[in-house]
Chains A and B, each alone.
Chain A
Amino acid sequence: MNKPFKDIAVSASRRDVLVVGATVAGGSLLVGCSLPGALSAGSKVEVGAFGPFLKFAPDETVTVISKHIEFGQGNHAGLAAIAAEELDADWSKVKVEQAAANAKLYGNVNMGGTQGTGGSSAIANSWTQLRTAGAAARAMFVSAAAAKWGVPASEITVSNGVIAHPSGKQAGFGELVSDAAKVAPPEAPTLKDPKTFTLIGSDRVRRKDAQAKSDGAARYTQDVQLPDMLIAMVAHAPKFGAKVKSFDATDARKVAGVVAIHQIPTGVAVVANSTWAARQGRDALKVTWDESKAETRGSNQLLQEFKDLASGKAAAPDDKKKGWKGFDSKGDAAKASAGTAAVEVTYDFPYLAHATMEPMNCVAMVGKGPTKLVFGSQTPTLDQINTAGIVFALPGSIEIETLFAGGSFGRRANFQSDYVTECVHIAKKVGKGRPVKLVWTREDDMRAGYYRPMVHHAVRVTTDAEGYPATWRHRVVTQSIMKGAPPGSPGGGGIDATAIEGALGSPYLKATPIVDAQLITPDVGVPVLWWRSVGATHTAYVMEHTIDQLARKAGKDPVEYRRALYEKAGAGRRLAVLNLAAEKAGWTTPVAKGWTRGVAVHESFGSVVAQVVEVKLENGTPKVGRVVTAIDCGTAISPDQIAAQMEGGSCYGLSAALFGKVTLTDGVVDQQNFDTYRVLRNSEAPNVETYILPSSAPPSGVGEPGTPVIGPAVANALLAITGQPTLSQPFVEA
C-alpha cells in the first residue's frame, strides 16, 4: 500500500495478543482477546491507487468508502463530505459505498483499531483519516494534470470536481484517473485551512440515501433474498438463562414449507422455505425448558434489592469486586451524610428495550468456502471473532457484507454477537454454504434482553449559605454493562464507567467541596447493554433534575443557578451552550399561555447539548411543544444531519422518559410488542429547533448526545408546574 495510505489505515493486525479497547455505543469498554494472528486478514479488499477510502470512475463519480455502518445517524453523508471537501469534488457526483469487514484497513481509531461503529465516534475518528485521504488524492490529480499539460502544479486549481489551469485547460477526476493513479501519493499531504471549507458546514451536505429510503429500494437484512435461501425462526426460553430440556416438533414438522428443526444453544430453530412457514412452524413447537439456572426474579423484587442496597438496609458484599466502589470522593465523606439536606431523593429507571424498527436478523452461509455473513453489522470485528469460535476458523477469514440496518441505538453491538451467533449456529447445522436468514419477530426482539439496565440513584445534597451545593452524597445501583472488564478500564479500579459517566465528571460535583459518590453493580441474569447515550440515559436525568430542585430550594432561576456552578467549575462549553439555548428560547421572556419552560444541559461523547423545552399538562400527561436545542459538537460537518440527530435523539429520549419500560414477572419479560411497550408517536413528537455553536475544534459526536437531555428538561418544567420532582421513569403509566 502506498504512503500515506499505509499510515491512515489502522494497523490492528499482526498482534499476537489483541487488546481491543473500544467505545461501542458510548461508555468505554475494554475487551481482552487472546487471538494469535486472528485479524491478520480480513475480507479481501482490493486497495486501489488512492487508498482504501476513495475510488474514482471515468464517469466522474467519486466513491467514498465508509468503514461505518449507516443505521440512521447520517454518517455516510458526513464521512463523504470530509473527503469531498479536501478533494474539492463535485458533491452531486459523490457516492458512498459500505466497506467490507477488514479491521486492518477499516479499524475505528477510537476503538483500538477494531472495526465498529458506536460511541458517536464515526465522524470524530475519521476526521483526520478522510481529510488526509482526500488531500492526498487531490495532490495526485494535480500532479498528473501538471505533467500532462506541462504547467507548474502550483498554477492548477481544483473546484467542484474540475481541475483547471488559467490557460484554459481543464479536466475532471474521471478523465485524469489513470494518470493520477500512477503518481506517488505525497508523504504528508497539505490539509485545507478550515476557513476555506466550502462544503463542510454547509447545507449542501445532505443524505445520499434519502431516495433509496423513500422508494423502497434500500436493502436491509430483512430484504436479502438469495438463491436456495432458507428462513429460520427460533423458539427462545421465556426466562434468561434457561436451556432446552426437551422438545416435541411433531406439529412443527407438519407445517407445509418447514424443512428442518435444529436444537441450538439458544433454543430450537425451525428452518423453512418461507418466513410465514417458519413462523407457523416455530409457533407449533412444544419446548420444555430447564430453568434451574435461570433468572427468576421479577423487576419489582430487583428494584427493591437495589433500593435496600442504596439505603443501607441490605449490606453490600464485603468484597472489593462486588461491594461499593467510590467513583468521586472529595473532603470528609462523613459530612456528606450529616447536616440538614436541601434535597434528598431517590430515582428509579426501568429496563429499556432498544426496539429498533427492524428486529434483529442475520443471513449466514456456512460449510462451503469461507463463512459469509450478510447483515447490518455494527461491530464487524466482534462479529468475526464470535462467529469464528463456532465455525472453527480465524476471525479474519469470516466475510461480512454490511447492509443498512433499521436502527440500532446500541443493540447491534454486543460482546456475544447474540443474534449473529444464533444465525451462524443454524447455518452450520444446515451446512453446505446454504444461505439461512434468521428472522426475529418483534416479540423475539423485545424479549431477548440486552436492555438498558435498571438503575437506582440515591442523592443527598446539603447547601451553603447561598444555596449552592456544599456536600453531595451519591449512590448508584445498577447492573454492569461491562461486567468482567479488566482493571484499568476508564473510571479506574475496575469501575464500570458506563454506569456512572455523566455523574463522574459532572461540573456540579466539581463545584461541590465535599463529595462522596459510590457505585455498586449487583449480578442479575438479565442481559444488559448500552442504549443510545448509555450512562447519560440516567445520570443526565439525576444530575439535571437534582440541580433544578436545588435551584428551586435556593429561590434561584435554574439558568442563573447553572451559570454560577459552571463558572465555579470552569465548565466553559456548558456555559456557552446554555447561554445559546436560553437566548434562542427567550428564557427571560414570557412563554405562550398555558406552557411552562424547563431547561437541562449535558455533555456526552465529546459534545454538549442544552435544551429548553415548553411543556403543558393535558389530562395529567405531559405534552411537549417547542424544544430549543443548542449543541457544541466541534466542527459541524452537516448542519442538516446534526439537526436531524437532535430531533431524533430528542424523540428517543422523550419516548423513554414518558413511556419506556420493560418489566419482568418471576423472570419473564412482560412486554412483547408495541402494544405493551409504548413508544413515542407522531402526535407526541415535539418540534425541535437546533442551533449549533460555532467551533473550530475537531468534530465530536451527535448520534447520542441529543438523547439524554430532554427527559430532565421536561421533568424540570413539570417541577415548575407542580412543585414536585419526578423521581421515576417512565412518567406515564402505560
Chain B
Amino acid sequence: MAITVDVNGRPLNVNSPPDTPLLWVLRDELGLTGTKYGCGIAQCGACTVLADGQPIRSCQMPISALGAAKITTIEGLGGSHPLQQAWVRLDVPQCGYCQSGQIMSACALLAQNPHPDDAAITGAMDGNICRCGAYQRIRAAIKEAAATPTPTAAPAATPTA
C-alpha cells in the first residue's frame, strides 16, 4: 500500500507501513539522512522537519497522519539558505548531529518572526538539544541570518508556498 508524501516539493510514493514515523521513511526509504534520530519521543528536536512551514518532530509523526502536508527537510533548504550561511560563517556545528534539527526550527522561527529577540529565539529553540553546547552560536547565527535579507522573509508580492 503506497502513501504519497510531498517532500521538498516532490510528491513521492512510499511503501513503509502507515504507522511508520516520518523520520524512518525519510531516512530509510527516501535516503534523506540529514534528518536525525536522537530520542524517538519528541524530546530532543534532532528530527525536526517542516510540515507546511510548521516545525514538527518527525519521530512522532506516522506517515498516515500527514495528509497533504508539504514536508521540508534540511536537504530542501538547498545548502546556501541564509541560516545555513550564518551557521557556516560562525562555525556553529561541533559534532553536528543536532544541527539539521536546529536549523529547521530556526527556519520556522524566522518565517514567523523575521527579527526575533533573545526570548523569542530561546523560546523557539528550547526543544532542540545540543549536547556539544553550541547554543550560544546558534543564537548568534539566528540573529545574523535575521539581519540578512532572505528569500524566506518573502516580500508581500510572493505567493506563499
Contacts and interface: CB of A to CB of B under 8 A. Distances in A.
Contacts of A650: 133
Interface of chain A, helix or strand or loop or mixed? loop
B130 A357 contact: yes
A647 B134 contact: yes
B91 interface: yes
A355 B75 CA distance: 26
B94 interface: yes
Nearest to B89: A210
Contacts of B27: 222-223, 275
Contacts of B29: 274
A292 interface: no
Interface of chain B, helix or strand or loop or mixed? loop
Interface string A321-361: 00000000000000000000000000000000001111100
Nearest to A71: B95
A502 interface: no
Chain B contact residues (Cβ within 8 angstroms of A): what range? 35 or more
B11 interface: no
Interface residues of A, number: 62
Nearest to A650: B133
B131 A683 contact: no
Interface string B126-156: 1111111111111100000000000000000
B38 interface: yes
B108 to A, nearest CB: 15
B58 interface: no
Contact of A682 (B44, B75, B77, B122): B122
Interface string B52-95: 00000000000000000000011101110000100110011111
B136 A675 contact: no
Given A210-B87, A275-B28, A682 B128 contact: yes
A502 to B, nearest CB: 21
A648 B94 contact: yes
Interface stretch (A104-112, A211-219, A599-607, A691-699): A211-219
B91 A207 contact: yes
A673 interface: yes
Contacts of A256: 17
Given A225-B33, A355-B131, 15 more contacts: A72-B95, A72-B132, A214-B88, A217-B79, A276-B24, A404-B96, A406-B97, A409-B131, A443-B40, A640-B91, A641-B91, A674-B43, A680-B133, A685-B133, A688-B136
Which 9 A-B pairs have CB atoms at the shortest separation, nearest pair first?
Answer: A216-B34, A651-B133, A406-B97, A213-B96, A72-B95, A72-B94, A685-B135, A683-B122, A213-B93
28 contacts: A210-B92, A214-B87, A214-B88, A214-B92, A214-B99, A215-B79, A216-B32, A216-B73, A216-B74, A222-B36, A225-B33, A274-B20, A274-B28, A274-B29, A275-B28, A276-B17, A276-B20, A357-B38, A357-B95, A404-B96, A406-B98, A644-B134, A679-B131, A682-B122, A682-B125, A682-B139, A685-B133, A685-B136
